[in-house]
Amino acid sequence: MPPKQKSKSWAELKQAGNECFKTGQYGEATNLYSQAIKALEKNSKRKPEDLAILYSNRAASYLKDGNCGECVKDCNMSLELSQFNVKSLLRRAAAYEALERYRQAYVDYKTALQIDCNIAAAHDGTNRMTKALTETDGPSWREKLPPIPTVPLSVKEKLAQMSAGNATQPSPTPQQNGTTQTKKPAPSDKEIKKAQALKEEGNALVKKGEHKKAIEKYSQSLKHNPTEVTTYTNRALCYLSVKQYRDAIRDCDEALVIDSNNVKALYRRAQAHKELKDVRACVDDLNSLLKVEPKNTAALKLLQEVQKKK
């Protein structure tokens, strides 16, 4: 008889789930996170924080697949295990928003801002919910809100220390209200100049139709300045031209972390999703774009085109 294969540990399953998530295989990621949760729950030495991260990771996969109800359930579990987990709050807020449960979404966005007032996605979400609630409930909308929990200072300090340890969680696209806020170190003036020069070389190559060479220049530019949003969207355009659609999506994801309403990033990611036959993700991106620019003709045309294929 062949030797029995050793079953994978919860940490190996989690890592495999993270890899699937990164490549857009959300269904498989959900399956792997579920296996990891089962394995960890059997472990007598388990830490609540580890289990909380797994539930939060699975919630991110559900959110990407449009399964908002399951996303909310997993975020609830995660927050029971690790109160005030920022990623879980933001993922639940995004799911609530998609379900048009704007009051609950508002509360989660505001709670996340108490923990870290620099989360752009939470500011954007709060603004959207304020507008939606004013339209539905009128000027007294705040009176109808559920209570917003107060985050104790001790919790804020503890979470600030822990945040470095949670870098292994998968990063949903900021279109899903940016649950990652990776802070890249600010480049020096010298690096910014070098990056700009390389980007311009890339732009010149694009005009000549030399997209592969342009990708190399943009990649070099981003090593010097990884915070320049247009370099990501320019490289995404090149990846689309050479049919590297998953790479285009990754660049658009990066651009949207920096600027959650970037129209070019949303449009190019929609184009990549269309080529990968992911109609739902394509439509989601186009709808997000049209909230920013309701009369964007290219987006309206592409939306009409993909909806015919449904």
DSSP-derived secondary structure for 180-229: ----PPPPPHHHHHHHHHHHHHHHHHHHTT-HHHHHHHHHHHHHH-TT-H
CA 109 to CA 130: how far, in whole Å? Answer: 11
- Domain map of the chain by residue range? 10-164, 189-308
The residues, any chain, with a CB within 8 Å of residue 82's CB and separated by 6 or more, are 48, 49, 52, 53, 88
What's the pLDDT at 240?
94
Same fold, 10-164 and 189-308: yes
Please name the amino acid found at residue 210: E
Fold of 10-164: 1.25.40
Average pLDDT of the segment spanning 166-193: 53
Rounded distance between C-alpha atoms, residue 275 and residue 292, angstroms: 23
- Check if the beta carbon of residue 84 is closer than 8 Å to that of residue 159: yes
Give the whole-angstrom CA distance, residue 281 versus residue 303.
11
Query: What pLDDT shows up at residue 163?
Result: 52
CATH code 1.25.40.10 for 189-308: yes
Under a CB-based contact definition with an 8 Å cutoff, are residues 54 and 40 in contact? yes
Q: In the predicted model, what is the mean pLDDT of the chain?
A: 85
Return the pLDDT at 181.
41
| Banded pLDDT at 183 (limits 50, 70, 90) | very low
Please give the full DSSP string across 110-173, using - where no structure is assigned.
Answer: HHHHHH-TT-HHHHHHHHHHHHHHHHHH-TTGGGGSPPPPPPPHHHHHHHHHHGGGGTTS----
Structure tokens at 45: 């030495």
Angle between the N-to-C axes of helices 245-258 and 229-241, in degrees from 0 to 180, rounded to the nearest 10: 160
Report pLDDT digits (tens) over 112-163.
988 888 888 888 889 899 999 998 888 888 888 999 888 887 776 666 665 5
Q: Which residue has the higher pLDDT, 271 or 175?
A: 271
Q: Is the pLDDT of residue 38 over 90?
A: yes
* Residues 225-240: tens digit of each pLDDT: 888 889 999 999 999 9
Q: What pLDDT was estimated at residue 173? A: 42
User: How many angstroms separate the first and last alpha carbons of the chain?
Assistant: 49
Rounded distance, CA 112 to CA 118, Å?
A: 10
Indicate if the pLDDT at residue 46 is higher than 90. no
